Amino acid sequence: MEPILQVNGLTGGYSPKRPVLHDISFEVKAGEMVGLIGLNGAGKSTTIKHILGLMKPQIGEVKVDGVTLEEETDRYRGAFAYVPETPVLFDELTVEEHLRLTGMAYSVQDNQFEAREDELLKQFQMMPKRKAFASHLSKGMKQKVMIMNALLAEPPLYIIDEPFLGLDPLGIRSLLERLVEVKRKGAAILMSSHILSTVETYCDRFIVMHHGKIVALGTLEDVRQAAGMDLRGGSLEDAFYKLVTGGQA
């Protein structure tokens, strides 16, 4: 089966003369969660922008659900949902109206929408806020709305960027439980986060980026091997520090 997300030989950035990304390649298959990690400035956000179609590759290509953005724009965009680091909502729409708008955008049937909406509002403790305007929500609640919108769509691919910022402990637990569930149902998940212990616990494979290149890719054992560590021991955090400090951790 073809991977849901394919990044092939991607070189890109804001200027053709000074690319941020240098020939990066990876994939995310159905039913797996892949952690994208790196220091600030490593190229994670630029990678995500290329996947979202906000930036055009200078070299290489990105495929979602088997097509590039240029080949089938609607199919490409409809195959993923994105949760950004900073929530972006419409101040004059309620929580429920945001969910309704997402349901319309992803062509969710009415009977499915109602069931998913109720389940998500309960799971993320947002039922009392369903009629609240976005402008009246805390940052953490706004982040929950972004997450609920993504989960409501039930796309083949989730792209999640630093999802835990602003979430309370119950919100974090609800999100992780839901990601495990959608992964079990066959969704592909690419998650960028600095919380390496959580990434290690929940992700099946890892992409370690440094200076716009992939310095390690694969399972925890693969990352340990790339870091020159004993394959039988050592956390993701230990391996990560060795990789980004040249073994001086």
CA-wise closest residue to 123 among 176, 174, 177? 174
The pLDDT tens digits of the residues spanning 129-179 come to 999 999 999 999 999 999 999 999 999 999 999 988 888 999 999 999 999
Entry pTM: 0.94
The pLDDT tens digits of the residues spanning 175-194 come to 999 999 999 999 999 999 99
Cα gap 91→186, rounded to integer Å:
34
Cα gap 111→125, rounded to integer Å:
22
The pLDDT tens digits of the residues spanning 121-133 come to 999 999 999 999 9
The pLDDT tens digits of the residues spanning 101-128 come to 999 999 999 999 999 999 999 999 999 9
Cα gap 46→203, rounded to integer Å:
21
Residue 85 is encoded by which pair of tokens? Answer: 């680091």
* Edge-to-edge strand ranges of the sheet holding 80-83: 80-83, 157-161, 188-192, 33-38, 205-210, 213-218
- Domain-by-domain residue ranges, the chain? 1-43+54-79+157-167+180-249, 85-154
> What is the per-residue pLDDT for 2?
87
Residue 38: alpha-carbon gap to chain centroid: 14
Domain 1-43+54-79+157-167+180-249: which CATH number of 3.60.110.10, 3.40.50.300, 3.30.930.10, 3.20.20.70: 3.40.50.300
Residue 240 is encoded by which pair of tokens? Answer: 């990560």
- φ/ψ (deg, to 5) at 159: -115, 115
**Burial profile 191-203: b = 16 or more Cβ within 10 angstroms, e = fewer:** bbbebbebbbebb
